[in-house]
A and B are shown apart, each in its own frame.
Chain A
Amino acid sequence: MPMNFRKCQIILFLLGCLIPSAAFAKLDILACEPEWQSLAELLGGDKVDVKSATTAFQDPHHIEARPSLIVKTRNSDLIFCTGAELEIGWLPLLLTKSSNYRIQKNQLGYFLASDQVELIEKPATLDRSQGDVHIAGNPHVHWDPYRVLKIAAAFSKRLRKIDAANSEYYQQRNSEFVSRWGSSIKKWESLAAPLRGKKVIVYHKNWSYLLNWLEIEVTGDLEPKPGIPPTSAHLASLLSHTKYKKPDVILIANYQDNKGAQWLGEKSGVPILELPFTVGGSEAADSLFTLYEDALSKLKQIR
């Protein structure tokens, strides 16, 4: 029996895409970022096999369309990405190079989180003199738990469409997720209540959804313009700004270069807080749930 299975596997491998693999195997999902890998795993359970194109230590704006990623794109039945131009520097090329029709734009196998929710910080005018702004708005939606709920519902619906045979299973997983996530939101909100009105300096508009949700005020950004690394002149102006704005903390993501933040922290005495930006960004953050828990417990250190 194992022998036969082995043979079957070899034949499948050789025939490649001649045989529609979905009939035999798990649904292959490629998530562009680890947060969506986690969500896809939570919603797809053991019916899906999810890979992430990036890790928590990589800036998702800047990824190389590497040969290994082309292979992952070629093999997937469904891609789960952020959209809103976050992946514009690499995803279009991966799609073109993958020769995989199923996951092309607007196909059933193409799912963008940003298409499912309203985005904040949409630019009023579009001009690169404002930096590398995203036309559709701020793409970092996984930091709003309510938007995550909407994205989860839409993604679960998509799973049921693509893999109708397991429709009930996905429905079940989604209900479980909704109740668990819903009760977590309540817990997190009461935990984070004392954070309301705190002031932070950020590095890129990474945390806008989280800070909006927790009603934490942003008083400055290490980037002079979106996409432009901190300059010494800008840091100097931030230093004088810390004197009257009195931020409580400088917030950076685990993948970011912390030189600018360190300089400002040393000069101003404002502590630096490094948060995992996504799943895998800290040891504790191994799923969307633990990511939120870890980030909140770290934010609680703000005095």
Chain B
Amino acid sequence: MIIRTQYQAKMRFFCLLSYLILTFTPVLEVSANPANPDVSLVLDGFYKSEATALSERGRSFGLGHTELSLQSAIDDRLMGRFTTVFESHEGETEIEIEEAFINTTGLGMGLDMRFGRFLSQAGYLNSHHTHSDAFSERPVVYRALLGAHYFDDGVRLNVLIPTPFFWQIGVETFKGNRLAGGVGDEPVGVYTFHTKIGGDISTSNSWQFGTSYIRHKLKVMEDNHEEETHEGHSHSHNAVYSAENLYILDAVWKWAPLGNVRNQQLILSAEYIYADDLNEYASDDDNHEGWYASIVYRFHPQWALGIRQGEAKLKQAHGDHFHDQNLEETDLMISWSHSHFSTIRLQYSRQQGAGFENVNNAVSLQYVMAIGAHGAHEF
């Protein structure tokens, strides 16, 4: 009997203890240390009916761009961000560090610098994280010339010009081994120059216009056949087509009634890319060229419709000569976001082209979900 009471008392003690722990745990969670970095995880998965040309996403089920990101202030003068991407292709899992940079928080005179690995700000889409895209894959011209999104190790210097409208000028230098053609003998393989202007026309309308130039010091070209084998379902992040000079024009226009993007928003965007000096054998007529234009209309807080037309006219290097390639893609998509953190997208892509394998029409169903910190998206 006595033993039993002791046992009961012990049990009561444990019950009380676990009760206390349970009661206080959530409180501890809420008062999380403010010095903790923002952690966010993006889950991206898809089903695709067919393999398509120049695509990172193969047929059937697959994982897309699963990214884990940490961001925080380092001190009052610096912030840092780290993003690692997990991708799965044909049974192989790839882990890539996509971003690992430090950025200054205002050096004065509108200057800021960034060091480390980061997405180049050339072009419009390139500096955006792919999970914020309206379509399941980047436009064909991006996939061909920039490896869907060009990031590299380097330094950036940006200046915000003190004009009444938005005007930013930036230069970047990169190692350069992530663009096709590799690094040359120089320690710095890629330079980019970029300028952007933008503003509001009214409370409902905003615009931005950008021009960029990417200079790539190619190494002396060897035969390009190695890259050819990737064609169709390249799982390389690197661009497939080399060029010494890339010129990009981009324009974006966004509309929302009275600027209230919560209920509806219309986004028009377009980019044009021209590339020349493809390698040492290239003549003046040998160049890559491509463009896309897209219309995305979110007609309800949860629903969006989009159409995108894109084309890439490419030259594939074969020793001392080139083969013409051409790929056109039309994408139609409808997406539904239950909350701000979850999106399901149905997309139909129609391809037409010459010189590629896997020129196909495909239906894909994709989800993009965010766990953790509420990231801010660029304009």
Give A residues with C-beta under 8 Å from B: 13, 16-18, 54-55, 57-59, 61-68, 70-71, 74-75, 85, 88-93, 95-102, 104-107, 122-126, 128, 131-132, 135, 225, 227-229, 255, 257
Q: Is the beta-carbon distance between A74 and B260 smaller than 8 angstroms?
A: no
Per a CB cutoff under 8 Å, which of B105, B111, B260 touches A57? B260
B263 within 8 A of A: yes
Per a CB cutoff under 8 Å, which of B105, B162, B262, B339 touches A228? B339
User: How large, as a class, is the contact surface on chain B?
Assistant: 35 or more
Majority SS at the chain A contact face: loop
Q: A68-B199, A93-B378, A122-B30 are in contact. Are A99 and B107 (CB under 8 A)?
A: yes
Q: Is the beta-carbon distance between A125 and B166 smaller than 8 angstroms?
A: no
Give B residues with C-beta under 8 Å from A: 26-27, 29-30, 32, 73, 76-77, 79, 103, 105-112, 158-160, 162-166, 196-200, 203, 206, 208, 254, 256, 258-263, 300-302, 338-341, 371, 374, 376-379
Question: How far is it, in angstroms, between the C-alpha of A229 and the C-alpha of B180 when the chains are bound?
Answer: 46
Q: A85-B374, A126-B29, A227-B339 are in contact. Are A67 and B263 (CB under 8 A)?
A: no
Q: Is the beta-carbon distance between A55 and B203 smaller than 8 angstroms?
A: yes
Q: A90-B376, A99-B110, A99-B160 are in contact. Are A228 and B338 (CB under 8 A)?
A: yes
Per a CB cutoff under 8 Å, which of A59, A71, A125, A228 touches B164? A71
Q: Is the beta-carbon distance between A64 and B260 smaller than 8 angstroms?
A: no
Q: Which residues of B contact A70 (CB under 8 A)?
A: 160, 166
Taking A16-B162, A71-B164, A107-B76 as known contacts, 15 extra A-B pairs with beta carbons closer than 8 A to each other, sorted by chain A number, are A17-B110, A57-B258, A59-B260, A61-B262, A66-B206, A68-B199, A88-B376, A95-B105, A100-B106, A101-B77, A102-B106, A132-B374, A135-B30, A228-B338, A229-B302
Per a CB cutoff under 8 Å, which of B106, B200, B374 touches A88? B374
Provide 12 A-B residue pairs closer than 8 Å at the C-beta atoms, listed in order of the A residue.
A13-B162, A58-B258, A59-B263, A64-B254, A65-B379, A67-B379, A68-B198, A99-B112, A125-B29, A126-B26, A132-B339, A228-B339
Question: How far is it, in angstroms, between the C-alpha of A144 and the C-alpha of B134 when the chains are bound?
Answer: 40
Q: Is the beta-carbon distance between A71 and B166 smaller than 8 angstroms?
A: yes
Q: A55-B203, A68-B166 are in contact. Are A104 and B76 (CB under 8 A)?
A: yes
Question: How far is it, in angstroms, between the C-alpha of A284 and the C-alpha of B191 when the chains are bound?
Answer: 55
Q: Is the beta-carbon distance between A67 and B208 smaller than 8 angstroms?
A: yes
Q: Is the beta-carbon distance between B261 and A63 smaller than 8 angstroms?
A: yes
Q: Which residues of B contact A17 (CB under 8 A)?
A: 108-110, 162
Q: A70-B166, A128-B339 are in contact. Are A101 and B108 (CB under 8 A)?
A: yes
Q: Which residues of A contact B76 (CB under 8 A)?
A: 104, 106-107
Q: Is the beta-carbon distance between A74 and B301 smaller than 8 angstroms?
A: no
Q: A66-B206, A68-B199, A71-B165 are in contact. Are A57 and B259 (CB under 8 A)?
A: yes
Q: Is the beta-carbon distance between A62 and B261 smaller than 8 angstroms?
A: yes
Q: Which residues of B contact A57 (CB under 8 A)?
A: 203, 258-260
Question: How far is it, in angstroms, between the C-alpha of A70 and the C-alpha of B196 when the chains are bound?
Answer: 12
Q: Is the beta-carbon distance between B105 and A64 smaller than 8 angstroms?
A: no
Question: How far is it, in angstroms, between the C-alpha of A17 and the C-alpha of B261 when the chains are bound?
Answer: 33
Per a CB cutoff under 8 Å, which of B26, B111, B198, B262 touches A67? B198
Minimal Cβ-Cβ distance residue in A for B158:
A99
Question: How far is it, in angstroms, between the C-alpha of A13 and the C-alpha of B160 when the chains are bound?
Answer: 14
Q: Which residues of A contact B256 (CB under 8 A)?
A: 64
Minimal Cβ-Cβ distance residue in A for B201:
A68
Q: Which residues of B contact A65 (CB under 8 A)?
A: 376-379
Q: Which residues of B contact A135 (CB under 8 A)?
A: 30, 32
Question: How far is it, in angstroms, between the C-alpha of A37 and the C-alpha of B110 when the chains are bound?
Answer: 25
Q: A96-B105, A104-B76 are in contact. Are A74 and B110 (CB under 8 A)?
A: yes
Q: Please name the 6 residue pairs, one residue from A and one from B, whose CB atoms are nearest each other, closest first.
A: A67-B198, A67-B166, A101-B106, A16-B162, A59-B262, A93-B376
Q: Which residues of B contact A107 (CB under 8 A)?
A: 76
Q: Which residues of A contact B206 (CB under 8 A)?
A: 64, 66-68
Q: Is the beta-carbon distance between A66 and B379 smaller than 8 angstroms?
A: yes
Question: How far is it, in angstroms, between the C-alpha of A124 and the C-alpha of B164 when the chains are bound?
Answer: 45
A34 CB to closest chain B CB (Å) equals 12
Q: A105-B73, A106-B76, A227-B339 are in contact. Are A62 and B262 (CB under 8 A)?
A: yes
